[in-house]
Chains A and B, each alone.
Chain A
């Protein structure tokens, strides 16, 4: 289920390694992992830092690691910033990732439009709730759609995942730890598939997405349910945890 891509990549590298060792070309100093995925940039290039605040910290308040990082950056070339990245306060990396995942056939304009409508819709609902609520409860209602989005995504992130591992001819679902990126990816993927599949023909995407996000914010809804089911499966397969070798 999870990390089949990692497994196939591992398989590809092991096959190439086996092939290389069979033909006698694998020497002790050749790298064991031959990467298939590449980038136009030389690995010497560093990632850019587009946020303004980072550069306004005075010299005295920097930690030694930050000082070292600054000195390293001054001698290394830096990659160009991508199209979706700006220094503005509205630039959110998590939201950009979500927009990209929502995008179909490279149509970012439509995906970005849906997300904007979703955020507006969420704000409207929350403001309506805010005005209808009694005085004591007003402070608890969160009206910032970005905060709701982040909190909802956090609530959907699974803590533990499952991997299909073959042992003795049978495949077992083994609980494995997940990296941060993987958890975020799963949360977003579940959210999008849920909104695409389980909606009425007439409801629009932004409407369904805002409903799901608000539900996830209050820890209800199908996505959070799916996360809990995954946790339960992992707990039930606890006995096979020792099959994991990494």
Chain B
């Protein structure tokens, strides 16, 4: 389920959208507009201005997005003693399972449990949620709220009757912090110690909590409008020069973004019988696939499908594409290349080989060089493909001749 949503968020698929636009049913159009509205929620940008962020799609995916916030739905469904009993049963069951499988009960991890269950109860069902599972009760039973009022019927929290007590108390706390920062600033101004260039909180590399993550934190449902107001208030807090006083509070509502370069898979260098270092890489572009064998021999000769590259690519642009990664790193004459490519046209074959060469070169480069290659756009596979033809139109975009009658 998670991988499926990843792919739908990763590539902005138009087919679903056009289908929604074409459908006359209100439900599908509402779904499309909900998706647009969802897109309005912001993630980290250097200059954050909520009104300017139109259709910014989220790439950050967390499991939170797929779980419904059952906790906020209604009153307690499972009592505390019940949950405790479930936890004890789970722990005992885990030890029994370990004994059954012949493993050490002390070091039996969740991965081992999953594998044992899959072995003992093989299931031919496709739906992951229908297969037998054994997980800690905290992951199975949703987080709940305890009863919010005492024996006399009076609620504990002073904001209970607003309906969204955690949200409003959070907003009150944030505003109190902002006032505290302003007081601090006034005191400094009084002592003539106020400077404009105080230490700022570093926001790069982190993003605001998503609406779903905030709901999980507060254990209650909030609307899009509420979430937007919360982010607005936090941004207002951050606009004050001395906001670093409340850095811990702010960081609690931010999540770190992972460094993209760590996602690159670098193969280790291999050596052949003469001690020459070599590496392979493959790449794809449209329908062309190419593989490259890069050898560190120092001659700079390139052969593609057995022929010289000058004969195979008579167009200058294609040869420039082959040289692009080598020229970028400044290793033009160093490597020997044996390439094989098939499918597509000359341009897409050149693009496929460029990607293959860049990937093969990674084994020879340091981490900063890998990062510069990534920022130059050499390591991303080009997702552009031929757009499909739609029914009722002559091509992908071209419509049939419009006839008045």
A: residues with CB less than 8 A from B are 20, 23, 25, 27-31, 33-35, 38-44, 48-50, 52, 55, 68-69, 71-81, 83-88, 91, 108-109, 112
- Grouping DSSP codes into helix (H, G, I), strand (E, B) and loop, the B interface class, with mixed when no group exceeds half, is helix
List 15 extra interface pairs beyond A69-B46, A75-B259, CB under 8 A.
Answer: A20-B33, A30-B36, A31-B39, A33-B54, A38-B12, A39-B12, A42-B10, A43-B57, A74-B260, A76-B257, A78-B375, A78-B377, A78-B380, A80-B377, A83-B350
Q: How far is the CA of A50 from the CA of B320 in the complex (A)?
A: 13
Given A30-B36, A31-B55, A77-B260: A42 touches B375 (CB 8 Å cut-off): no
B205 to chain A, nearest CB (A): 5
Q: Is the CB of A42 within 8 A of B9?
A: yes
- Grouping DSSP codes into helix (H, G, I), strand (E, B) and loop, the A interface class, with mixed when no group exceeds half, is loop
Residues from chain B with a CB closer than 8 A to the CB of A71 are: 204-205
Q: Is the CB of B259 within 8 A of A80?
A: no
Q: State which of B259, B316, B355, B383 has its C-beta within 8 Å of the C-beta of A40.
A: B383
Q: Is the CB of A74 within 8 A of B33?
A: no
Residue B381 CB within 8 A of the other chain: yes
Q: Is the CB of B317 within 8 A of A29?
A: no
Residues from chain A with a CB closer than 8 A to the CB of B175 are: none
Residue B132 CB within 8 A of the other chain: no
B337 to chain A, nearest CB (A): 17
Chain B contributes a number of interface residues (CB within 8 A of A) equal to 59
Q: Is the CB of A76 within 8 A of B260?
A: yes
Of residues 24 through 48 on chain B, the ones whose CB sits less than 8 Å from some CB of chain A are 26, 29-30, 33, 36-37, 39-40, 43, 46
Q: Is the CB of A48 within 8 A of B12?
A: no
Q: How far is the CA of A52 from the CA of B378 in the complex (A)?
A: 13
Residue among A74, A76, A79 with max Cβ neighbours from chain B (10 Å): A74
Of residues 365 through 386 on chain B, the ones whose CB sits less than 8 Å from some CB of chain A are 371-372, 374-378, 380-385
Given A23-B26, A27-B37, A84-B317: A50 touches B9 (CB 8 Å cut-off): no
Question: 6 shortest A-B CB distances, which residue pairs?
Answer: A48-B377, A81-B377, A80-B380, A71-B204, A80-B382, A75-B257
Given A38-B12, A87-B328: A25 touches B26 (CB 8 Å cut-off): yes
Residues from chain A with a CB closer than 8 A to the CB of B321 are: 83, 86
Residue B327 CB within 8 A of the other chain: yes
Q: Is the CB of A30 within 8 A of B33?
A: yes
